[in-house]
Amino acid sequence: MGKKSSGFQQKIIIALLGVGLLSGATALLFSYVSRTKALEDTIGANFERLALDTAQKVDIIIDRKIRDTKSLAASPTFINQIKKIRTSPTSTRPKDNSELLSYIKRYQREREGDIFSVTLTDEKDNIIAATEKTQPHYQSKKSLLERLFTSDIDFDIATKTFSMMISAPITDDKSGEIIGSLRELHNLKEVFGIIDKVRIGKTGHADLVASDGTLVVCPIFPGQTHKISENLLRELSISEPGWKIAVDEAEGRRDSIIGFSPVKTTFELGEDNFWGKNLYVLIRQFPEDAYSPTYNLLWHLLIIAPTGIGILLMLSYFVSQWIVKPIKELSDSAELIGYGQPDPDIKIRTGDEIERLADTFNKMAKDLENRFEDIKLERDKLNTIMDSMGDGLVILDKDLRIQHLNAKFMDLYGKESVGKSCRDVFGIKDAPCNGCTAGDGEDVKPHTFEAVTNNGITYLITHSRIKNKDGTTSIIEIFKDITERKRLEQQLLQSERLAALSQFSSTFAHDLKNPVIAIKKTIEMLRDSSNFSGSETLNNVYTDLISTCGLLLGLVNDVLDIHQVSYKDLPMIYSHFSLKQALDEVVKLLKIEAEEKRLHIEIEGNKEEVRVEADKRRIQRVFINLLTNAIRYSPPSGKIKISFQDSSYDPEYTSRTSTLLFSIEDEGPGIIQSDLSKVFDLFYRKDIGEIKSGTGLGLYFCKVVIDAHKGRIWADNKKNGGAVFNFEIPISGRDANDYKNFNSRRPETFSAEPEISS
């Protein structure tokens, strides 16, 4: 049996290899021929179109210059000047000539280098006026007086400029007789620019060629120094635009693709114009440059040919294995499935694997029909059980794609979820899918984990892996919604933490308050009993120590106040005080911390002194918490900007309620967009790298104090990085009841940089 299998496999390998090599060689030859022909057609058509476009542009330039010359020759002012010179006495003629010369010089200047010279002759071809010395070959030709005439294009090697003379007769507008001629020597830099701009690949370019083969304008060779052969001109038959593959003798290349197009103006003005020559535009490129894509393709194919043959040989081997081995395996499997029937119904004697395959399937066919009904009944029972479950049930394949949903999840996520990744369908945050090993073939015992979806639902997922009959792996996951349970657990945990903190705060206040009061009283006694004459520094030190003790006592009281049943019950002591003075005291208190990080604190405010009616001690605590937060997250040598404004000085607001708007900006990492609404929550903490956050009480206390003042507080991000904290309270405590309506007219805040983390 093994020998027959080996022979069958060898036949498959030889057949596949032969077909592959023959097909590859045929495809290579066909690809080369067709690609070369297609490339020639494409390049030729492009060259023809480019030659036509370039010729049309040259036509437009020459035609415009002819029209300019004819327009000046027909100008009434110009004609009257000439007639005046013809009829004026000899004594006044120099003055008239000078006026005419000034006129044509001004005309030349207005053309900004477009005209090299302007020459004016009378009816006898005598020069009346000229802006430059005229060339001899542009004179002494009587026919120039009678009609429009254009010269050939000349190239000045010294100045490297191209020029062309255009002559137009000047006719008396009344009698119709010719009274002179106008000759303009035009600068053809535009023509050279158009020809020079045409670049294709490394060697492709355009040429302006005369009918005698002279290269008039060529970006490669100097002007009018080379010629193309008459044979090439005849072969191109360039009476109309087109393209051909020809021998380019001027550049020594064979099989060159050349596009061509005549310059129509040179055909339409008569045989004497352009000294009896016509002009053409040629587009040429070296063959090795034009055919480089085909050559590159051929070289690449030749280089990879051995590799391709090796790959083909390997594929032939694997394909043969794929054909032969599965047949034998399928046959063996079929025997096992149908085992138990000693006498087959159909016997085929072909002498190869097909015989055994047919025999096996004959055995299988007898059992399949009966067993299928049993399987269907069992499957229906299983589906009924799954659909009746109150929890969601999902079956995944080894790639974690959904194969089946029970009725509960089918209603939630729809049939379109089948075939998609479970992670994409359920939108699980911080998905445990990244570490899931269910589909890697390892034995994974059933386990349970929690996951939160993007819409805030918390699931308890029981995860089990099963093996199918065909050897593949599937995963069963049961999703139990525990969102409400988690919420209650969180509330319980929060309550326990608050209770513990309240007990600690009470003990802390009793143990710390009395010693701090004693320290404060002692310092006050020392200050009152000391003689400060000539020692202002010592006086300032005592004052700072007393102020610091007062703030520390305020902190102790705040820790107790923060756990009132409601911030409405927070005892408030209102007084009138200077906001600038209160802020300076806080900045002075935290000066050492700021100097350690070389921070610059900048304060901006109203020019007028701002006085507020509020609880000074607690407002200063808000300043301390916000400034401490800014110092903690600011980079070394950074800047902290503090600003405040009385809205009564702002013309935008006309409400009778005056408010104080306070802002503090830092240059730190900012705040993540999703955390902007959480920073004032109790126990909210967010460590950033090596920067450790506080206890989660400071910003919460700020909100409690501002709310107690009937104000509002919010956080934001700056466009260039960094966070900004703002709060707004009524200037006077008496206006607090009016502030709610006023506050509703304030603009909504938003994050300028939602992607910056804090």
Residue-wise pLDDT tens digits, 142-179: 555 677 778 777 777 777 778 888 888 888 878 878 88
Q: Specify the DSSP element, H or E, that contains 256.
A: strand 253-262
Hey, what are 428's tokens? 């699980």
**401 closest CA partner among 419, 415, 414:** 419
> Do 694 and 602 share a domain, yes or no?
yes
Query: What is the arithmetic mean of pLDDT over 555-570?
Result: 58
Residue 595 — φ and ψ, nearest 5°?
-70, -30
Residue-wise pLDDT tens digits, 34-72: 777 777 788 888 888 888 888 888 888 888 888 888 888
Residue-wise pLDDT tens digits, 353-376: 666 666 666 666 667 667 767 777
**696 closest CA partner among 716, 678, 669:** 678
Indicate whether 28 belongs to any domain: no
What is d(CA 131, CA 182) in angstroms, rounded to the nearest whole number? 12
B/e letters for 159-177, b = 16+ CB within 10 Å, e = fewer, are: eeebbbbbbbbbeeeeeee
Beta bridge partners of 168: 182
Hey, what are 279's tokens? 């002009």
Long-range contacts of 558-567 (CB under 8 A, 24+ apart): 558/618, 558/621, 558/701, 559/505, 559/508, 559/509, 559/697, 560/505, 560/506, 560/509, 561/704, 562/505, 562/697, 562/700, 562/701, 562/704, 563/498, 563/501, 563/502, 563/505, 567/704, 567/707, 567/708
Average pLDDT, the chain: 74
Evaluate if residue 344 carries a pLDDT over 70.
Answer: no
In this prediction, residue 170 carries a pLDDT of 86
| Sequence-ordered strand ranges (E) for 154-203 | 154-156, 161-171, 178-187, 199-200
Q: Which of 481, 501, 527 is the last residue of a domain?
A: 481
Indicate whether 74 belongs to any domain: yes
Beta bridge partners of 117: 185
What is d(CA 166, CA 118) in angstroms, rounded to the nearest whole number? 10
Helix axes 579-589, 616-633, angle to 10 degrees: 50
Task: Please name the amino acid found at residue 329.
Answer: E
What is d(CA 65, CA 149) in angstroms, rounded to the nearest whole number? 12
Task: Please name the amino acid found at residue 28.
Answer: L
What is d(CA 255, CA 412) in angstroms, rounded to the nearest whole number? 70
Q: Are 507 and 480 in contact (CB under 8 A)?
A: no
* pLDDT band with cut points at 50, 70 and 90 for residue 340: very low
Q: Domain holding 604: CATH number?
A: 3.30.565.10
213's torsion region: left (phi>0), alpha (psi -120 to 50) or beta?
left
Residue-wise pLDDT tens digits, 97-128: 777 788 888 888 887 778 888 888 877 777 88
> Bigger pLDDT: 250 or 381?
381
Task: Please name the amino acid found at residue 578.
Answer: S
Query: What is the arithmetic mean of pLDDT over 528-555?
Result: 71
> Do 108 and 233 share a domain, yes or no?
yes
Task: Find all residues with CB under 8 Å of 603, minimum gap 6, and list them.
Answer: 580, 583, 587, 642, 643
Indicate whether 78 belongs to any domain: yes
Evaluate if residue 320 carries a pLDDT over 70.
Answer: no
> Do 605 and 733 share a domain, yes or no?
yes
What is d(CA 309, CA 28) in angstroms, rounded to the nearest whole number? 13
What is d(CA 459, CA 442) in angstroms, rounded to the nearest whole number? 25
> Do 431 and 571 share a domain, yes or no?
no
> Do 87 and 226 share a domain, yes or no?
yes
> Bigger pLDDT: 370 or 580?
580
> Do 443 and 572 share a domain, yes or no?
no
Indicate whether 622 belongs to any domain: yes
Beta bridge partners of 727: 662, 713
Q: What percent of the chain has pLDDT over 90?
A: 9
* pLDDT band with cut points at 50, 70 and 90 for residue 729: very high
> Do 624 and 739 share a domain, yes or no?
yes
Return the SS3 of 34: helix
> Do 114 and 225 share a domain, yes or no?
yes
Evaluate if residue 716 carries a pLDDT over 50.
Answer: yes
Task: Give the range with max mean pLDDT: 160-174, 190-204, 570-584.
Answer: 570-584
**274 closest CA partner among 347, 188, 343:** 188
Query: What is the arithmetic mean of pLDDT over 430-442?
Result: 57
Window from 407-416, 559-568, 642-651, 695-704 with minimum mean pLDDT: 559-568
What is d(CA 85, CA 647) in angstroms, rounded to the nearest whole number? 83
> Do 144 and 277 share a domain, yes or no?
yes
Q: Domain holding 417: CATH number?
A: 3.30.450.20
Q: How many domains does the chain have?
A: 3
Total residue length of the chain: 758
Q: Which of 237, 263, 290 is the last residue of a domain?
A: 290
Indicate whether 454 belongs to any domain: yes
Q: Are 360 and 335 in contact (CB under 8 A)?
A: yes
Evaluate if residue 570 carries a pLDDT over 90.
Answer: no
Q: Are 81 and 107 in contact (CB under 8 A)?
A: no
What is d(CA 586, CA 137) in angstroms, rounded to the nearest whole number? 96
Dihedral, CA atoms, 502, 508, 514, 516, nearest 10 degrees? -120
**73 closest CA partner among 130, 132, 118:** 118
Evaluate if residue 701 carries a pLDDT over 60.
Answer: yes
What is d(CA 125, CA 134) in angstroms, rounded to the nearest whole number? 13
Task: Find all residues with CB under 8 Å of 484, minimum gap 6, and list them.
Answer: none
Task: Please name the amino acid found at residue 532.
Answer: F
Task: Find all residues with CB under 8 Å of 192, minimum gap 6, and list them.
Answer: 162, 217
Residue-wise pLDDT tens digits, 254-269: 677 888 888 877 666 6
Place of tokens 């009132």: 564
In this prediction, residue 728 carries a pLDDT of 94
Task: Please name the amino acid found at residue 696.
Answer: G
Q: How many CA atoms lie within 13 A of 714 on its CB side?
A: 14
Query: What is the arithmetic mean of pLDDT over 660-668?
Result: 93
Q: Which of 229, 264, 290 is the last residue of a domain?
A: 290
Indicate whether 662 belongs to any domain: yes
Q: Are 239 and 262 in contact (CB under 8 A)?
A: yes
Residue 434 — φ and ψ, nearest 5°?
-60, -35
In this prediction, residue 687 carries a pLDDT of 59
In this prediction, residue 358 carries a pLDDT of 62
DSSP structural state of residue 717:
E
Hey, what are 586's tokens? 């806080």
Q: Specify the DSSP element, H or E, that contains 265.
A: helix 264-268
Indicate whether 373 belongs to any domain: no
Beta bridge partners of 611: 578
Name the residue range of residue 437's domain: 389-481
Q: Are 615 and 730 in contact (CB under 8 A)?
A: no
Indicate whether 314 belongs to any domain: no
Residue-wise pLDDT tens digits, 520-531: 777 777 777 766
